[in-house]
Chain A
Amino acid sequence: MPPKIPMAVAVCSGLALAAYAITEKLSVELHGDQLFVSAPKVDLIRGPVLTRLKDGGTVAFDFHLALWAGSRSSVRRRSFERFVVSYDLWEEKYAVTNLRKPAASASGLTDNAIGKWCLEHISIASPNVGASEPVWVGLEIRTADTRQDTELFSAGGISLIGLVDLLSRPARPGEMRWSLETGPLMLHEVRR
């Protein structure tokens, strides 16, 4: 008789696979008073995301950029952005739009260029930290349901309560996540 796998184990394994997370190194740059991040490669377009896009649908990605100073106990600065990606069936290229203001969009992109474009359109204001105070920067990306949380983008800015609610929400079945971070580093050493 073949061994039976408990249903709970199977479900948890499935969810774990669905919420497959990749931790990669993040680079930080300062442009004026805004802190931008970059990564060698942010591979967003793969698996079920690729299938959904090739079927002509849209996929939303929530980007949450956070900065810790002094210790990892509390976030000093944070920024949130939702990007909606679609695939042009005739040109066979990708298009991306951010939903928060100021709105920006691009089309004719390759799959590899999507992640890079998104990173260029999210930043956080540089914090006032001491010269010897270390900082950490982390980026969380997760796929989102385009039909959910649309009210968050109607206001000029997103409230902290709304953001916490959105980020603390348990993973949906099939949701994909990416995690990138760097630190500790000294802000005065960051490339400008």
Chain B
Amino acid sequence: MLARQLPMRLLLTLLLPILLAARTPDPAASAVFANVNSRYRIESVEIQPSGLSKLSQALRQSIEEMIGARFDQTVVEEIRKRLRQELRPATVATRLTRGTAPENIKVVFDVSRPGGSGFEVEFPNLQYHSKQAFSFGMEAVLDTTNHRVRFGALTDNDELLERFSGVRGGYERKNLAGRFSLGFNAASWRSQWNPALRDAEVYRTRTQLEPFASVRFYEPLTLQLGVSFGQLDYQNPAARDELSSAAFLTLRFQRRWELASGNRQEFEAGYGMRIATRALAGDFAYRRHTWNAEWRLASERQALAVAFQAGSVSRRAPLYERFILGNSKTLRGWSKFDVAPLGADRMAHTSVDYRWRHLRVIYDTGAAWLQAGDAKWRHSVAIGFTDGGPSGFSALVAFPIREGRVDPIFIVGINF
């Protein structure tokens, strides 16, 4: 009996894959293949207007996995549903546009808040640095499809030579003729200085107004042009107030790729120029150039980032235009007052940032010097914990690489 059944079982076993293959196609799949764009590869995915920062790590991962794959409407629909769940009560619509390369497309998820706007409170920086104490900023942002308004307060002892505290705000009219935007930024700061800088041209308050216009040439390349009008109120009663006005230009390039191995690659580069002339009714005349580039490679558990930045300032510029190294993003084992106590007019810096799960190791090297002097290269390493999530939290201990006594620096916070 068993012998008789065996050939039949064998036949069914052999035929099963054929029978399964010949089954009626899934109707949902039929609808998917009905989209002629299924033959194109996804070059990039955008969440407008909020970006990826507000999403869970799992959803960001799923979105990043779409890049490089062929367009699949069921996958895109699934992502749209998950976005709607995470961004509730917002509604999410999907649209496709041509990519920058032939036969590539871009998937855009348009997020619309009830009432047509998105109001959010953001924390651009929040950190403790053992040499610089706390830096903290909070910003309220109202973002709609065509308008963006922001207002916030900040106290920062990390970015510049001084601790600057105050309020800032801005308005931007986006999507003019599809690729232009116009706007302005305004800020009012009160500055506090290291006592060692008493004799320098230190100002007590700084007020700035920056009208700007930007144009997106093609998707990854953006140009911003504008004028910055500033007023400096000096601490020394004998010094008169000065106007610091400069025209500025910023060119930014950003591109992402998905490699065949499944790893994700990103490249960002930028060039900035500020030209201050007396023609702009300012008391300063200088030129400031900055260059930066960053390449990132990420897999499921590891990430590597290599960043480079350089800059130069010619002639007399206000202190806030000078370069510093030795903060939460550069030469992390050094204090900015040890590297260039009065700031520098030349700077070059490179860092290699490696992450493996929750471990983060960084090597920094750079120099900040005056044109008349020599560049002295410094090195540092930092090691610590990172949560690897959207909050960007890290806790690091950094050491300068030098002979003699070594004082570690502790840095805890987000977005550095």
Contacts and interface: CB of A to CB of B under 8 A. Distances in A.
B98 A90 contact: yes
Interface string B24-63: 1011101101111100100000000000000000000000
Given A55-B95, A56-B96, A151-B27, A90 B103 contact: yes
Contacts of B102: 90
A89 B94 contact: no
Nearest to A97: B34
B36 A88 contact: yes
Contacts of A153: 27, 30
Interface in A10-63: 55-58, 60
B5 interface: no
Contact of B35 (A58, A90, A103, A150): A58
Interface string B82-104: 00000000000011111000110
B32 to A, nearest CB: 9
Contacts, number: 69
A107 B36 contact: yes
Nearest to A105: B34
Contact of B97 (A56, A88, A154): A56
A55 B96 contact: yes
Interface string A149-167: 0111111000000000000
Contact of B34 (A84, A147, A151, A155): A84
B188 interface: no
B105 interface: yes
A21 to B, nearest CB: 25
Contacts of B33: 97
B36 A99 contact: no
A90 B35 CA distance: 13
Interface string B58-87: 000000000000000100010000000000
A105 B38 CA distance: 14
A107 B77 CA distance: 23
Interface string A57-83: 110100000000000000000000000
A154 B40 contact: no
A89 B97 contact: yes
A95 interface: yes
A152 B31 CA distance: 13
Contacts of B73: 58
Interface secondary structure of B, over-half rule: mixed
A90 B34 contact: no
A107 B35 CA distance: 10
A87 interface: yes
Nearest to A91: B36
Contacts of B103: 90
A148 B57 CA distance: 31
A89 B98 contact: yes
A112 interface: no
A60 B73 CA distance: 14
B30 A103 contact: yes
Contacts of B36: 86-88, 94-95, 107
Contact of A56 (B26, B28, B37, B77): B37
Contact of A57 (B26, B28, B30, B94): B94
Contacts of B37: 56, 86-89
B95 A58 contact: no
A110 interface: no
A20 B201 CA distance: 72
Contacts of B40: 89-90
Nearest to B103: A90
Interface string B172-207: 000000000000000000000000000000000000
Nearest to B104: A90
A185 to B, nearest CB: 35
Interface in B84-128: 94-98, 102-103, 105
Contacts of A103: 30
Contacts of A97: 30, 33-34
B202 to A, nearest CB: 55
A90 B98 CA distance: 7
A56 B95 contact: yes
Contacts of B31: 58, 60, 84, 99, 146-147, 150
Q: Which 4 residue pairs spanning A and B have beta carbons closest together?
A: A56-B96, A84-B34, A95-B36, A55-B95
Given A56-B35, A99-B31, A147-B28, 16 more contacts: A56-B37, A56-B95, A56-B105, A57-B35, A57-B94, A58-B73, A86-B34, A86-B35, A86-B37, A89-B96, A94-B36, A99-B27, A147-B31, A150-B27, A154-B27, A155-B24
Interface of B: 24, 26-28, 30-31, 33-37, 40, 73, 77, 94-98, 102-103, 105
10 contacts: A56-B96, A56-B105, A86-B35, A89-B97, A90-B102, A90-B103, A97-B33, A105-B34, A147-B28, A153-B30
Interface of A: 55-58, 60, 84, 86-90, 94-95, 97, 99, 103, 105, 107, 146-147, 150-155
